């Protein structure tokens, strides 16, 4: 039993993610006569890992290919091989201990440089773990590839694991850790893979066990009946839902269903999935992995690519959302150099522009230039706005660049509570429910122990959403939602009932959200919203909402 | 000993894809090649992606390639060409699952 974060029901065999490889235990020195043979094991293991990674690169697509090719090169790196060999031959270390130490030294060197190279330290650790696993006869770390569809069971998934996850082979994801807004949940929803996180007892699921996973109910069952298998087969046979391209409630009220995208490829995929526009264009990818800020010209080229996919439609561009949690060398100085005691409460989002106003101005210039050359309707918003002052100065800067549609993300409780004053300046607002929730319940959304507090059905979150939407209605300003909550079919109805004027989500979530909304009248949505607001707890809110929206269960939502 | 001096053209420096392409080409070469920064530092094996990365050569930095033996000139010409013309543009990051909002 856990928390269902991505809907769908499947039956399949468990394959566990290998446990992390630890430092090899100390061992007596290898006899001098046996050292050459010990060193030869290194050569074999490194070649084996290189070949495995090369083969994976051949099967992968997109950005994963590049990651895998680079790590394959590292696995057979001659300098690493020489450093490890030296430790075996001169000091008599066992091959695995020699590799652990040699790779650790390389990784430390890279980490000390920081920035892009610091990030590569992770790749070296990954390669080291793979070689040590090969030397000690263990399963390679990372997502297994058994050659047949399986239910992936892991403690938790890291962003790096996503590079090797094949959506066609992974039937469902079950993790012991994680919460509704964890990387695992976001990844699963974006790929449309059913997932259960914070699953108690997942640690006891052995490889090969057949399980029934229900990604909505949050259940993982070892008792699989023939009736279950039949139900799953039936669901698999029914045609996949698609989104026709216009979100509306059962009463016919238009609720634009938009997509969250991070790059040109994502924008094109979102357009193909029928998204009515982009509700959140994250511009960070343009800035990550580099020493210097991108030039205005570089930014224009990237933004133009995203806008081109949505000619005639809305694209909401979020300005750079950097900070101590997403370090960028050209922004890091003083307190922000990864030394803040509370990065989530630090100099991040719009706040980075206080010390680096030029960076924001360059970005706005690039957005404006791309917008002028495009047929898309460009809106711009700032992340992490807390006060009306911040909204006012941001909007003024946008207007100075000719960007009239300027708004703010509401992800700080202060902004939600003073939404009326914020919306006196901002021409629209977009609720980032993931951060808004973690700030409301004071619970880090990455901490598994706090999963219950990061439940988007928390009534406190919904009260803040209501406050922001009410202010928007008073001032006739659109207030949408672009957090993960919008991708949950039941919550989507609640958010519309609270007054959200648009919903933005992973493109994979569009069909389910669209069908859920179409089955609920405006009154149904409002009733579900009131029921949730009146509930004393998140669990009670969830139950009340499901009772108010009886059409969802028969749809399998 | 054959030698080539070349300025790194890739806008991201000798990192990421350019570094991988360079190290892979050097590993496939007929003779061992070293690379060092003109600004200082010891030569490192060009076939080692880890050594090449640690070099930390940025766009506009000048580096020296060295090799000896049969075919050294041809090998260095090809590698220098790779560094001088690399037009690799910035690619999407791998952090594909950055949390929404």
pLDDT along chain A (557 residues), means of 10: 85 89 89 95 95 84 75 93 96 95 92 76 88 90 83 81 75 85 74 87 91 90 90 79 91 97 89 95 81 88 94 96 72 58 88 92 97 96 98 97 97 98 98 95 84 91 98 98 91 98 93 95 97 96 96 84
Residue B93 lies in a domain: no
The domain tally of chain B equals 1
Q: How far apart are CA A306 and CA A280, in angstroms?
A: 11
SS3 state of residue A334: helix
Residue B96 lies in a domain: no
Instruction: Please report where in the chains the tokens 């259960």 appear, as a residue.
Output: A196
Residues of B with Cβ-Cβ distance to A181 under 8 angstroms: 99
Length of chain B: 101
pLDDT for the residue B95? 37
**Best A5, A47, A285 residue to mutate vs chain B (most B CBs within 10 Å):** A285
Residue B22 lies in a domain: yes
pLDDT for the residue A289? 65
pLDDT for the residue A285? 76
Spatial contact of A390 and A382, defined as CB atoms under 8 Å apart: yes
Q: What is the DSSP letter of A263?
A: S
Q: From first to last of the 101 residues of chain B, give the pLDDT tens digit.
A: 899 999 998 887 888 788 889 999 999 999 999 999 998 888 999 999 999 988 888 888 999 999 999 999 999 999 999 999 864 433 333 333 333 33
Check if CATH label 3.50.30.10 holds for domain A3-17+143-237: yes
pLDDT for the residue B92? 35
- Domain A32-135 class in CATH: mainly alpha
- Beta bridge pairs of residue A480: A430
pTM: 0.67
- B15 catalytic? Reply is yes
Taking CA–CA distances from A116, the nearest residue in chain B reads: B15
SS3 state of residue B41: coil
Residues of B with Cβ-Cβ distance to A159 under 8 angstroms: 94-98
Residues of A with Cβ-Cβ distance to B47 under 8 angstroms: 78
Neighbouring residues of A389: CB distance < 8 A, sequence distance ≥ 6:
none
HSE at residue A97, side-chain half, CA atoms within 13 A, is 15
Q: What is the DSSP letter of A432?
A: -
> Does B17 reach chain A within 8 Å, measured CB to CB?
yes
Q: How far apart are CA A300 and CA A364, in angstroms?
A: 10
- Return the CATH number at B20: 3.30.1340.10
Question: What are φ and ψ of residue B37, in 5° steps?
Answer: -85, 140
Spatial contact of A487 and A279, defined as CB atoms under 8 Å apart: no
- Beta bridge pairs of residue B63: B6, B37
Residue B101 lies in a domain: no
Return residue ranges of chain A for CATH 3.20.20.60: 257-555
Q: Which of A47, A53, A42, A40 is nearest to A123 (CA)?
A: A53
Residue B41 lies in a domain: yes
Give the ipTM of the model, two decimals please: 0.81
Residue B62 lies in a domain: yes
Spatial contact of A480 and A433, defined as CB atoms under 8 Å apart: no
Spatial contact of A372 and A419, defined as CB atoms under 8 Å apart: no
SS3 state of residue A469: helix
**Best A65, A78, A180, A290 residue to mutate vs chain B (most B CBs within 10 Å):** A78
Residue B56 belongs to domain spanning: 2-85
- A482 catalytic? Reply is yes
Instruction: Please report where in the chains the tokens 């990651």 appear, as a residue.
Output: A67
Residue B95 lies in a domain: no
**Contact yes or no for B20 and A66 at CB 8 A:** yes
Domain range A257-555, its CATH number among 3.20.20.60, 3.40.50.150, 3.10.20.30, 1.50.10.10:
3.20.20.60
Residue B56 lies in a domain: yes
Residues of A with Cβ-Cβ distance to B50 under 8 angstroms: 74, 77, 79-80, 106, 110, 124
Helix count and strand count (H, E) for chain A: 20, 15
């Amino acid at each position: 039993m856990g928390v269902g974060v991505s809907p769908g029901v499947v039956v399949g065999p468990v394959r566990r993610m290998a446990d992390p490889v630890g430092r090899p235990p100390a061992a007596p020195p290898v006899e001098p006569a046996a050292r050459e043979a010990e060193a030869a094991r290194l050569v074999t293991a490194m070649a084996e890992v290189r070949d495995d990674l090369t083969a994976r690169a051949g099967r992968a697509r997109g950005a994963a290919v590049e990651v895998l090719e680079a790590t394959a090169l590292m696995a057979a790196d001659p300098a690493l091989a020489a450093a490890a060999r030296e430790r075996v031959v001169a000091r008599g270390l066992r091959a695995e201990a020699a590799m652990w130490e040699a790779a650790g030294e390389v990784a430390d060197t890279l980490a000390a440089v920081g920035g892009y190279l610091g990030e590569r330290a992770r790749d070296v650790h990954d390669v080291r773990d793979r070689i040590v696993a090969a030397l000690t006869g263990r399963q390679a770390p990372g997502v297994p590839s058994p050659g047949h569809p399986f239910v992936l069971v892991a403690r938790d998934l890291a962003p790096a694991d996503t590079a090797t996850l094949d959506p066609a082979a992974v039937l469902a994801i079950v993790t012991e850790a994680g919460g509704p807004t964890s990387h695992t949940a976001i990844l699963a929803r974006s790929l449309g893979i059913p997932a259960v996180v914070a699953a108690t007892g997942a640690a006891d699921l052995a490889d090969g066990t057949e399980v029934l996973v229900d990604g909505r109910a949050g259940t993982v069952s070892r008792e699989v009946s023939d009736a279950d298998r039949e139900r799953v087969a039936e669901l698999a046979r029914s045609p996949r839902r698609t989104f026709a391209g216009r979100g509306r409630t059962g009463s016919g009220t238009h609720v634009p269903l938009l997509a969250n995208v991070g790059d040109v490829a994502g924008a094109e995929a979102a357009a193909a999935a029928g998204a009515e526009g982009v509700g959140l264009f994250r511009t960070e990818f343009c800035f990550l992995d580099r020493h210097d800020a991108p030039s205005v010209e570089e930014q224009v080229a990237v933004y133009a690519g995203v806008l081109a996919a949505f000619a005639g439609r809305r694209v909401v561009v979020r300005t750079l959302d950097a900070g101590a949690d997403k370090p960028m060398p050209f922004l890091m100085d003083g307190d922000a150099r990864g030394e803040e005691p509370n990065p989530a409460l630090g100099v991040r989002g719009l706040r980075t522009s206080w010390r680096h106003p030029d960076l924001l101005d360059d970005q706005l210039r690039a957005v404006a230039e791309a917008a002028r050359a495009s047929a898309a309707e460009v809106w711009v918003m700032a992340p992490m706005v807390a006060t009306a002052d911040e909204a006012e100065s941001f909007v003024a800067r946008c207007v100075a660049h000719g960007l009239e549609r300027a708004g703010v993300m509401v992800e700080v409780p202060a902004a939600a509570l003073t939404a009326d004053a914020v919306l006196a300046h901002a021409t629209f607002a977009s609720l980032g429910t993931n951060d808004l929730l973690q700030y409301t319940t004071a619970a880090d959304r990455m901490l598994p122990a706090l999963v219950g507090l990061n439940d988007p059905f928390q009534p406190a979150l919904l009260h803040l959403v209501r406050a922001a939407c009410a202010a928007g209605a008073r001032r006739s300003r659109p207030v949408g939602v672009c957090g993960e909550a919008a991708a949950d079919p039941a919550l989507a109805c609640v958010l519309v009932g609270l007054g959200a004027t648009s919903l933005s989500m992973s493109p994979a979530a569009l069909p389910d959200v669209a069908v859920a909304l179409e089955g609920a009248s405006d009154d149904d949505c409002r009733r579900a919203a009131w029921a949730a607001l009146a509930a004393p707890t998140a669990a009670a809110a969830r139950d009340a909402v499901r009772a108010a929206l009886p059409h969802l269960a028969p749809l399998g939502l | 000993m054959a030698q080539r001096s070349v300025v790194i053209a890739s806008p991201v420096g000798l990192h990421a894809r350019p570094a991988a392409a360079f190290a892979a080409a050097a590993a496939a070469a007929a003779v061992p090649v070293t690379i060092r920064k003109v600004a200082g530092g010891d030569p490192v094996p060009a076939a080692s992606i880890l050594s090449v990365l640690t070099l930390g050569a940025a766009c506009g930095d000048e580096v020296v390639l060295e090799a000896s033996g049969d075919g050294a000139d041809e090998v260095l010409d090809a590698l220098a060409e790779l560094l001088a013309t690399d037009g690799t543009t910035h690619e999407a990051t791998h952090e594909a699952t950055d949390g929404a909002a």
